[in-house]
Amino acid sequence: MTATRMAGADATWLHMDRPHNLMLVQTVLWFEGEADWGAIVESFFERVVARFEVFGSRPLDPPVTLGLLAPRWQPVEVNRADHLRRVRLPDPGGTAQLHRYIAKQLSTPLDRRFPLWQLHLIDGFEQGGAILLRTHHAIGDGSALVRMLVTWAGAEPQRDCGSMGGGAGRSASPGGGITADAGMLVKLVAGLPTRAGLLGEDLSGVKSVAWTAPVPLDRIKRLSAATGSTVNDVALAFVAGALRRSVEGAAKSGRVEAIIPVNLRTQEPPFETGMGNHFGLVFTTLPTDVGDLRERIARVKADMDRIKSTHEARIVFDALTAIGATPQSGAQAWVDSFSRRASLIVTNIAFPIYTLTIGSSQIKGIVAWVPTTGPLGLGVSICSYAGVVR
List phi, psi (to 5°) of 312. Answer: -55, -45
List phi, psi (to 5°) of 327. Answer: -55, 145
Yes or no: say if 54 and 73 are a contact pair by the CB < 8 Å rule.
yes
pLDDT value of residue 164? 38
pLDDT value of residue 168? 46
Q: Which residues of the chain have pLDDT under 50?
A: 159-174, 269
Nearest to 258, CA basis, from 247, 273, 269? 247
Long-range contacts of 244-247 (CB under 8 A, 24+ apart): 244/288, 244/289, 244/290, 244/291, 247/198, 247/199, 247/288
pLDDT value of residue 161? 43
Query: Per residue in 88-126, pLDDT tens?
Result: 999 999 999 999 999 999 989 999 999 999 999 999 999
Strand partners, 132: 28, 120
pLDDT value of residue 186? 64
d(CA 84, CA 117): 9
- Helices 312-323/182-190 angle, 10° precision: 100
Nearest to 132, CA basis, from 111, 117, 116, 114? 117
pLDDT value of residue 208? 93
d(CA 388, CA 383): 8
Nearest to 281, CA basis, from 331, 315, 305? 315
Yes or no: say if 100 and 207 are a contact pair by the CB < 8 Å rule.
no
What are the b/e assignments for 182-205, b being 16+ CB within 10 Å? eebbeebeeebeeebbbbeeeeee
Sign of CA dihedral 214, 219, 225, 226: negative
d(CA 264, CA 251): 33
List phi, psi (to 5°) of 162. Answer: 100, -10
Q: Specify the DSSP class assigned to residue 48.
A: I
d(CA 268, CA 218): 25
Bridge-based pairing of strands 130-136 and 24-31 is antiparallel
* Helix (H) or strand (E) segment spanning residue 102: helix 95-105
Yes or no: say if 357 and 363 are a contact pair by the CB < 8 Å rule.
yes
Nearest to 24, CA basis, from 121, 127, 140? 140
d(CA 12, CA 333): 12
Residue 38: CA atoms inside 13 Å, Cβ hemisphere, count?
A: 0
Q: For residue 182, is it left (φ>0), alpha (ψ between -120 and 50) or beta?
A: alpha
